[in-house]
């Protein structure tokens, strides 16, 4: 039975939502986006078809109609850079071959048919543009320590052999800890706090000093510097894992905002960015219980660093199916997503008019909605539907957490490209592996 509070909230929402059935229905969202420089598109899970397809549709329109320059996603830099090279015409292969190379679990996040379709569209779109105006695709995450070190070694062998010893030294320092993705490195730093910190910092400094000489392919020079930055921040991330609390999460999202700033600078003073990441990264952490734990995220930091230039868009659904794993490194599987918890944002949106809808936050600045935290579902790459009511709902003030929210009432699972995933230990980042 609904409470008086729930009934009143639903009445307010009924006055404010817009139907979402086709691309033209995105008009209220694009009106809200206006001239924003950064648009962040969230997702309530890493394995839902509609979140990817609606983000793709919004992304295409932002590129075509508003001239956005690049997409930055919650993915590893080396893997995403291979997509970037393909869609810009540097790599003569095809999208299928590129995505088949994504081997780090959870592979389905970016190796899926939905991203394949977007990659092919981007390649076709870029084919009509001059090279300097082509749209890019980049990864924001910090997990790719060994892949980034390997890319640095390969690049320096070809371009700057005199700087190769610094990269070899860093690689040798981390090599004993490779098998468990840095978990043993985190434990080793309890005895020797800065095992490899000096090596990666010196490598980054060496590359930055030599960067002006790497002028044969300017974007590849930026790529090698970014891989060195990944190594520096990955080392910080692994050191922070055993400290507990918000430390490792904040290192990760701090790296994301640093990478986003670097990409904006690289593309010029008038560049514009589209970000794809989980709601827990995109939605302003100040309006969730994350803030009480000392956690911040890229959505909050972007609003602080780029006042009035950022639009945050959250996504959610009431029920459906999803691709996830029972535990970290487990085989991916299709799982049922149960009907949303009574009284949650997803439940409230389900009970309002229209099956699929857009909510513009500025339309609902009512004390009832901005003074109360309500549970908001978050499904990560690790998921168990049987237990979701005990840990998958983030208390949130939704109209302050996002500038807009897209609700797809019933969703279906993403379509992964089949492959064998590497098995790795779980990074100690967040309760549901987002």
- The token pair at 64 is 């075509």
pLDDT in tens, 276-311: 999 999 999 999 999 999 999 999 999 999 999 999
Looking at residue 424, what is its pLDDT?
39
Contact, 374 vs 20, CB < 8 A? no
Averaged pLDDT score across all residues of the chain: 91
Low-confidence ranges of the chain (pLDDT < 70): 1, 180-182, 190-193, 242-244, 419-434
What separation, in Å, do the N-terminal and C-terminal C-alpha atoms of the chain show? 33
d(CA 199, CA 196) in angstroms, rounded, equals 5
Task: Give domain limits for the chain.
Answer: 1-67+273-434, 155-271
Looking at residue 419, what is its pLDDT?
59
Q: Which residue has the tokens 């499904």?
A: 379
Looking at residue 431, what is its pLDDT?
39
Looking at residue 434, what is its pLDDT?
64
> What string of DSSP letters covers 259-282?
HHHHHHHHH-TT--EEEE--HHHH
d(CA 114, CA 258) in angstroms, rounded, equals 28
Buried b / exposed e over 31-62, threshold 16 CB at 10 Å, is: ebbeebbbbbbbbbbbbbbbbbebbbebbbbb
Looking at residue 180, what is its pLDDT?
67
Looking at residue 312, what is its pLDDT?
98
Q: How many CB atoms lie within 10 A of CB 7?
A: 10
Could you tell me the pTM of the whole model? 0.94
Looking at residue 190, what is its pLDDT?
66
Give the sheet arrangement for strand 319-324, strand by strand: 333-337, 319-324, 410-411
Looking at residue 244, what is its pLDDT?
66
CA distances from 56 to 122, 247, 310, 412 (A): 10, 32, 19, 16
Q: Which residue has the tokens 């393909």?
A: 86
pLDDT in tens, 183-241: 777 777 766 667 888 999 999 999 999 988 887 777 999 999 999 999 999 999 988 87
DSSP reduced 3-state for 39: strand
Looking at residue 182, what is its pLDDT?
65
Looking at residue 176, what is its pLDDT?
84
Looking at residue 366, what is its pLDDT?
87
- The token pair at 272 is 């514009």
Looking at residue 213, what is its pLDDT?
86
Contact, 426 vs 329, CB < 8 A? yes
CATH topology of domain 1-67+273-434: EreA/ChaN-like  fold (3.40.1660)
């Amino acid at each position: 039975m609904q409470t008086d509070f729930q009934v009143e909230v639903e009445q307010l929402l009924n006055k404010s939502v817009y139907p979402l059935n086709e691309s033209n229905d995105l008009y209220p969202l694009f009106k809200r986006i206006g001239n924003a420089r950064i648009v962040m598109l969230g997702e309530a899970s890493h394995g839902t078809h509609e979140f990817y397809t609606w983000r793709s549709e919004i992304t295409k329109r932002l590129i075509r109609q508003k001239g956005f320059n690049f997409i930055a996603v919650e993915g590893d830099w080396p893997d995403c850079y291979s997509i970037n090279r393909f869609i810009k015409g540097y790599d003569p292969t095809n999208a299928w071959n590129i995505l088949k190379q994504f081997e780090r679990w959870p592979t389905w996040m970016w190796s899926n048919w939905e991203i394949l379709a977007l990659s092919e569209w981007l390649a076709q779109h870029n084919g009509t543009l001059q090279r300097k105006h082509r749209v890019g695709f980049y990864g924001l995450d910090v997990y790719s320590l060994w892949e980034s070190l390997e890319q640095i070694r390969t690049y320096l062998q070809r371009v700057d052999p005199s700087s190769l010893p610094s990269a070899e030294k860093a690689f040798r320092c981390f090599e004993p800890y490779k098998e468990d993705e840095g978990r043993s490195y985190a434990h080793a730093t309890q005895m020797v706090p800065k095992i490899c910190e000096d090596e990666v910092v010196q490598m980054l400094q060496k590359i930055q000093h030599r960067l002006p000489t790497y002028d044969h392919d300017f974007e590849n020079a930026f790529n090698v510097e970014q891989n060195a930055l990944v190594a520096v921040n990955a080392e910080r991330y692994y050191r922070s894992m055993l400290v507990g609390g918000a430390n490792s999460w904040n290192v990760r999202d701090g790296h994301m905002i640093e990478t986003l700033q670097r990409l904006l600078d690289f593309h010029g003073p008038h560049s514009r960015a589209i970000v794809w990441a989980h709601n827990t990264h995109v939605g302003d952490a100040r309006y969730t219980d994350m803030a009480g734990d000392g956690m911040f995220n890229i959505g909050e930091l972007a609003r602080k660093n780029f006042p009035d230039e950022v639009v945050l868009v959250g996504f959610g659904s009431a029920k459906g199916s999803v691709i996830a794993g029972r535990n970290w490194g487990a085989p991916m599987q299709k799982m049922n997503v149960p009907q949303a918890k009574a009284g949650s944002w997803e439940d409230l949106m389900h009970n309002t008019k229209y099956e699929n809808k857009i909510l513009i936050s500025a339309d609902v600045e009512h004390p009832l909605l901005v003074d109360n935290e309500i549970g908001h579902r978050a499904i990560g790459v690790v998921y168990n539907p049987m237990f979701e009511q005990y840990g998958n709902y983030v208390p949130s003030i939704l109209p302050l957490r996002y500038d807009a929210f897209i609700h797809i009432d019933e969703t279906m699972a993403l379509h992964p490209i089949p492959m064998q995933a590497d098995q790795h230990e779980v990074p100690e980042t967040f309760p549901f592996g987002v």
